[in-house]
Structure 1
Amino acid sequence: MDEVVGPSALDRALRPLHRWVWRDPHRRARKLLRFAETEADGGRDLSRAAELTADPLLRRLYLRHAEDELRHAALFRERGGALLRGLPRAPAGFEANWLTPGERGLDDLRVDGERDESLLAFLHLSEKAAAQRFAIYRQVLAHDPDTRAVFDDVLHDEAFHMTYTQTQLARVAAGGSRARLFRARAGRLWKAYLRVAAALASVVGTLLLRIQYFVVLPPFALLARRAAKREPAGFMAARRPSPLTSQY
């Protein structure tokens, strides 16, 4: 099958890592089930967007998009379940979700309060990124033709989603589509920065706590132990009672 959408340059550079992530059948099954949850959530969000928009054409397209997302969820769920049923039980391992995210990556879709232009810009960038990621997943799954066929099916719909969101954004934004895409892209970059900063802060915090436990606290514990050795054993003698004529 000819590729509808090709992977990004970054994903092509990370092809060995993608191949390693998808090689393990247990991790492959869990990732497909996770993709199913993401697609189902996207279908519900798009159904909500269809309720909120006042544009009849967008309403029809959002509903079509929602149906596609729910169908993708069923495809991923069915294939993930089939893989798990054919595998022995194993504990959950390293998922690498940050490296191989599903549609919309790690960004949540916010429908309420969004204008059509902003929502279309977000959807276009999301669908484009998802199509590029699914393209690289398809390439590294040559050893699993059934899972590869699922991504083949999904990629056709992703290409349509990319096209309609870009076309409708140009229509609705009335010449401001580039500015909307720039804002949406900046928002995605900001969220990515916050995720990286939070992860880095977690690593640094863990490192500082370990330094405190293994470097800073041991000297204080040693001093406390030495001070305890200088204390007399047993009970200390009670103080002599003060005479009643003294206030001390």
Structure 2
Amino acid sequence: MNAFDLTGKLAVVTGARRGIGRAMARALADAGADVIGVSASLEESGSDVEKDVVTAGRTFEAIRTDFADPEAVRALGAQLAARERPVDILVNNAGTIRRAPAAEHSYEDWEFVLQVNLSAQFALARSVGAAMVVRGRGKIIFTASLLSFQGGITVPGYTASKHAVAGLTKALANEWAAHGVNVNAIAPGYIATDNTEALRRDPARVTAILDRIPAGRWGDADDIGGATVFLASDAAAYVHGTILPVDGGWLGR
């Protein structure tokens, strides 16, 4: 049997409209999973991610939820947990970033980033994870960051949130591993997405970043797909509480 086969599984991917989230959804569908995509601005039908999933021969459902709205996120969690068809895989990928020097980083930006990147992630994992614990099986995958390990520059809110996501991953794994629920995270390296556009427009930062990546290139969103399928599959049955870097070797430099 193929331990990476996800046929018959239902995956929820947040932040699925573009970038890493879209690539994760596509990879899961290619491995056999049906997908529910969630995003604040996801089209009800005809989105690029829907086309990806349907092309892979799987079903797709779109849900629009604003992760900056705590009540909306809690309602989403309750709705997903109560579905007749249970969620087998939850990919907590939705996130945001605000860039400003720490002394100029507004409280509004701090609270916004922490809500989207951390509080919303906990709320969704809490509801869906509780249902998984009752069933005795399930996979939860968070999107962490290189800034789950490092401090970064001019992104204090983002760094704090991603350090916390790494800690939350381990805390939930400690509680739920014995109940058949795997909780892990992927830490993408420097991936060419909208979130890194500002960096890629800065010649000095681009040079400094590339000089440190042993692979010699920025990552593509599809580079995250294999790790997603692995952590969502039976191949990772004994993997709990890990933060898996997919970074071209950055952290090893």
TM over 0.5: same fold? no
Larger strand proportion, structure 1 or 2? Answer: 2
Give the TM-score normalised by the residue count of structure 2: 0.31
Task: Select the structure with the greater relative contact order (CA < 8 A; seq sep ≥ 6).
Answer: 1
Give the TM-score normalised by the residue count of structure 1: 0.31
Larger helix proportion, structure 1 or 2? Answer: 1
